[in-house]
Structure 1
Amino acid sequence: MSFDLGVWAIPQSISDAQAMRIYEELCEENAASVRDDPGVQRFAQALLEQFPALEDLADEQIEASPWSVSPWVTGSHVIISTVWSRSSEVTQFVLGLTGQYGLVCFDPQNAVVVYHPSTPA
């Protein structure tokens, strides 16, 4: 079992229900509701610098990784799956980055958009 997050760019505020619909579409490989954004790529680069993808790790490093599977990165969104024991650590890092790059972070476990504390909701 993993703890998942979705991250994407959207030009306006978004409700939890709208975010759930978009997240479900993204998981079905339908990105029509989101747009490519350079902030998504910068976010993904910073995320993977902090927590490298599983395929970039040596076998002996994989056990220490927070990933259940490597993040799914596109030009418009990132889908993140962490192990539960590292979910808080990764979520805090993700929120810092989404605040920095002006991106939406969606927590599908609780069906809520999650904002960095300095980001107006």
Structure 2
Amino acid sequence: MSHDLGFFSVKQGATTSEIRSLYQHSCNGDEISWPRSTAFDSFVASLEKEYPCLDSLSDDEVDDSPWSCGFDKGDGHIIVSMVFSKAAETGNYIWGLLEQNELIVYDPQADKAYLGKIELQESQATKKWWQFWK
């Protein structure tokens, strides 16, 4: 059993439905286009330094890895799958990285996307005419 998470560069106006769609397309092996950011690059570099991708480990190192499979990674996004037994440790490390690098996080188990602690809207709602000046 594993816990999956998707991490995406911040894009103004991103919605949960947009992130969900990108996540699903990426998991299906489709090429997705999403902007890259320095925060994303820093996050990935730090994550891979502390917990290298399963694909880069020797057979002896695999059992100690928190990952249940290799990363699904592209420009502006990375999807990881953590083994349950190491999810708390790895999740704490990831939380620390997210405090330093603002990213959108998609939790497919809960079907929710977040920017920091703020949940993204399901879709891009249009403002009422009186809200344009706020």
Q: What TM-score do you get using the length of structure 1 for normalisation? A: 0.79
1:86 aligns with 86
Kindly provide the CA deviation profile for residues 63-107 of structure 1, in whole angstroms up to 9, marking residues without a partner as x: 111011122222211010111112222223223223322111111
SS in 1 for 2:32: coil
Q: Which has the larger helix fraction?
A: 1
For residues 25 and 99 of structure 2, the distance between their equivalents in structure 1, rounded to whole angstroms, comes to 23
Q: Is the 8 A contact 1:95 1:115 kept in 2?
A: no
Aligned residues: 118
Identity %: 26
Q: CA deviation at 1:114?
A: 4.1
SS in 2 for 1:4: strand
2:128 aligns with none
Please list every run of 5 or more consecutive structure 1 residues that lacks an aligned counterpart in the other structure: none
Q: Is the 8 A contact 2:102 2:115 kept in 1?
A: no
For residues 85 and 116 of structure 1, the distance between their equivalents in structure 2, rounded to whole angstroms, comes to 25
One-letter amino acid of the structure 1 residue matched with residue 68 of structure 2: S
2:31 aligns with 30
* The structure with more radius of gyration: 2
For residues 55 and 72 of structure 2, the distance between their equivalents in structure 1, rounded to whole angstroms, comes to 12
Structure 1 residues 48-87: aligned runs within 5 Å: 48-87=48-87
2:95 aligns with 95
Q: Is the 8 A contact 1:107 1:113 kept in 2?
A: yes
SS in 1 for 2:69: strand
For residues 26 and 107 of structure 1, the distance between their equivalents in structure 2, rounded to whole angstroms, comes to 14
Q: Is the 8 A contact 2:6 2:78 kept in 1?
A: yes
CA RMSD of aligned residues (A): 2.2
For residues 95 and 84 of structure 1, the distance between their equivalents in structure 2, rounded to whole angstroms, comes to 16
Structure 1 runs (4+) greater than 3 angstroms displaced: 13-18, 114-117
